[in-house]
Each structure stands twice: as C-alpha cells, then as structure tokens.
Amino acid sequence: MAEQDLRESQKVFWLAITTACESAHLVGFNPALSISSHVSILHVGNFLSSSGRNRALVEDLADRLELAGWDIYRTSTFASRPIRLANIAATIWLRRHRFSVGHIAVFSGPAFFWAEVASWMMRTVGRPFVLSLHGGKLPVFSEHWPNRTRRLLRSAAAVVTPSRYLLEEMRCFRPDMALLPNPIDLSRYSFKIRYQPQPKLVWMRAFHEIYNPSLAPKALALLTQDLTAVELTMIGPSKGDNVLTNVEQVARDLNVADRMTLPGPIQKDAVSVWLNKSDVFLNTTNADNTPISLLEAMACGLCIVSTNVGGIPYLLVDGHDALLVPPNNPEAMAAAVRRILTEPALAERLSRNARKKVESFDWSLILPQWESLFAGVGAGINRSH
C-alpha cells in the first residue's frame, strides 16, 4: 500500500506543489528568509472538515494555538490520498523557512506512511518535530512493522499520545513518550444528570467497519422485545463504502428501521443538542483509543454503554462511569442498556461520574501543555542557531 501510494503521488506531485504555493499565498516568497525569533508551527494531519469529514484534533489544536497568538501553518486539506501525500511533502519544502517546529499526527495503515514521508521531509529541511499518536489499531500495526515504528518514533524531538492505552502499548518504541489527553471544550456541552433515563439511544461516529455500527440496530432489535418505546439515533458521515447501506439493511431485516433516525453528519455546534435528545450512548467499536465522540457524550452526562476494546478500559471504569461489554455482542449490549433503564441509582452514578471525569479533559487544561511542549522544542532549535 505504501509503495502504491508513493507511485500514485509522483504523478501529481508537481500539481500539488503548485496548489501548495497558491493556498499558502507565497507571493514574493524568499527562500533566504530566516526563522523568526518565536516558535511557528506546521501541523501535518487531516484538515478535512471543510469537505464534510469529521473534524480532527489537529484542526482544533491548530485553530486554538493560532487564537492564542502562535504562527500556524497547516497541511493537508486534500481528501485524495496521493494528492494529500504530495501536498504534505510540497508544503513542508515550500514552508521550510517559515516554520520552526513541526507537528505530525500519526495513525496506522497507509496514514503511517504519510507520517514517515512527513518526518523524512522535516529532517531534510532541518526542522524538529513532535509526533502525536492516534488510533486504536496502532499497537497492532506496530507489531507487524516494529522497525518502521521504532525508526519513526525515535526520529522525533518528542512523542505524545492521548491515552494511557497507547502510552503503555507504544512505550517500548519510545520510552519517554508523554501523555496529552484528547481535549474537549466543556462550555459547548449542556450537562444534565440522567436520574430517570428514557429508552432513547444515540450512536455517533463515522460509518466505518472498524466502528461496527451494525451492532447498534442488532442491540436495538433485542430491546424491542420488552421496551415498546425504544428508539435509536445514529449520527455521522458515511465513509463512502457500503457500511451505512449495510446498517440500513440490518435494520430492515430486524424490523427496527422505523425506530431509527439517521440524520447524517452534523455541525460541531449541534452535537450537544443532538446528544441531549437521548439518554444512553452506544459505543460499538471493535478497536478504539480515546474517541472524541465518547468524551462529548460524557460531557453531556449520557449513560454510556461501550465495548471494552483498545483504550476504552483505560478511560472508563465498568460500573463507575460506564457499562463495558465484550465487542460484537448485541445480547450483552442490550442487557447493559436494560440495567441503565431499570436501575435509576446506577444511571445517576454513571452520568455524574462520567461528567466529573471528562472535566479534566477541558481545553483550558490541555492547551497550555501543548504550548509548553512546542515552546520547549522551539527553544532547542533557537539555541542551536
């Protein structure tokens, strides 16, 4: 896959360079311009929300740092994989005299190769960079590619991860990794304790097979056997494959399509409103890390039922702030929902404790840690010049 992406990217490389020049407004660009005395950051990741994709952490981080007065550059906004790869490489080269520190988001699969290319480009232009690790499948990927993983992680000035799960699973490749949790703006989420939860369920994620969305209508079908008013809302964009179509077919086959609402993707400022229409949040994923959607549900005080995969058991405690069930087990998920709906004391405890835990993830606490990290890395390059 990596070699194929590279071959395809070569065909569009020069097109991407031209586009990068235009998008970066490099009129009068001076290659001899020296680095400014303060830290400027080039963020490398998926800036795809403008094209209908889910908003990534790197987008929010870049925006908030910019509002705080930092000089920020971004790449890439291209959805096409080969063009995105070429655009990343071109932007690093063309911006090499404008930024002093890089930040590269690292995922498994083909995206890992993009991180390798970006890190090679950073080293080529002599810029230190920070890696942030994401994705519940990264440990499995690293087991298959240990040398690549070790080489990438050790090439960075610093490596951070948003979860204790990835910290523990990946520290064998880089022992000095730091924990920087996925942040959330609590002010955007209306909180209410679920004292008497109603049988209104909500699922929110991209429709991708890794998140196993068809588990939700399967659990719903089991709940209809004794809960006549149960409803399910499934929020999120389609990834362009047949996953959403399959979910709709499963719902029809199980005769629960009339109990489901699928509004598609929603705006960020509407998340709280949509979540608070329900009382129970279903997280059906087969692999995960620290999903923002789960933090958003915690912020609203929903009662959470989640599969106990990846980083989830590192974030949530069964019976304390969520009910955790085995993956791909609709019977267990339905049973957990029934407990919440029939045990008010349990529901109140889960709701209250989930909100209390997520309060430590607020941007007001996390952003200063990012600023300190980038300032430290930037201070190192300034001392070397």
Would you give per-residue pLDDT tens digits along the chain (385 residues)?
444 544 444 444 444 444 444 444 433 333 333 334 468 999 999 898 777 677 788 999 999 999 999 999 999 999 888 898 999 999 999 999 999 999 999 999 889 999 999 999 999 999 999 999 998 889 999 999 999 999 999 999 999 999 999 999 999 999 999 999 999 999 999 999 999 999 999 999 999 999 999 999 999 999 999 999 999 999 998 877 799 999 999 999 999 999 999 999 998 899 999 999 999 999 999 988 888 999 999 999 999 999 999 889 999 999 999 999 999 999 999 999 999 999 999 999 999 999 999 999 999 999 999 999 999 998 875 444 4
Contacts of 46 (CB under 8 A, 6+ apart): 53, 56, 58, 59, 76, 105
Report the alpha-carbon distance of residue 4 to residue 110 in Å, rounded: 10
Report the alpha-carbon distance of residue 244 to residue 247 in Å, rounded: 5
Query: Which two three-digit tokens encode residue 221?
Result: 């079908």
Q: Based on the domain organization, do 34 and 125 belong to the same domain?
A: yes
- We report the CATH number of the domain holding residue 278 as 3.40.50.2000
Q: Based on the domain organization, do 275 and 171 belong to the same domain?
A: no
Residue tagged 């586009």 (tokens): 19
pTM for the structure as a whole: 0.82
Query: Which two three-digit tokens encode residue 78?
Result: 């291209």
Q: Based on the domain organization, do 298 and 373 belong to the same domain?
A: no
Sign, CA dihedral 278-241-76-23, equals negative
Q: Based on the domain organization, do 317 and 372 belong to the same domain?
A: no
Q: Based on the domain organization, do 76 and 152 belong to the same domain?
A: yes
Peptide bond into 76 cis (omega under 30): yes
Tally of CB atoms within 10 A around 42: 27
Q: Based on the domain organization, do 124 and 263 belong to the same domain?
A: no
Length of the chain in residues, anyone? 385
Q: Based on the domain organization, do 115 and 254 belong to the same domain?
A: no
Q: Based on the domain organization, do 159 and 86 belong to the same domain?
A: yes
Task: Confirm if 263 and 277 have CB atoms less than 8 A apart.
Answer: no
Report the alpha-carbon distance of residue 177 to residue 179 in Å, rounded: 7
Number of domains in the chain: 2
Q: Based on the domain organization, do 16 and 54 belong to the same domain?
A: yes
Q: Based on the domain organization, do 179 and 192 belong to the same domain?
A: no
Query: Which two three-digit tokens encode residue 350?
Result: 């889960």
For residue 261, the SS3 value is strand
Q: Based on the domain organization, do 12 and 23 belong to the same domain?
A: yes
Q: Based on the domain organization, do 91 and 227 belong to the same domain?
A: no
Q: CB-based burial of residue 79 (10 Å sphere; 0-12 exposed, 13-18 middle, 19+ buried)?
A: middle
* Host domain of residue 275: 186-361
Taking phi over 0 as left and psi of -120 to 50 as alpha, with beta for the rest, 52 belongs to left
For residue 287, the SS3 value is coil
Report the alpha-carbon distance of residue 343 to residue 129 in Å, rounded: 50
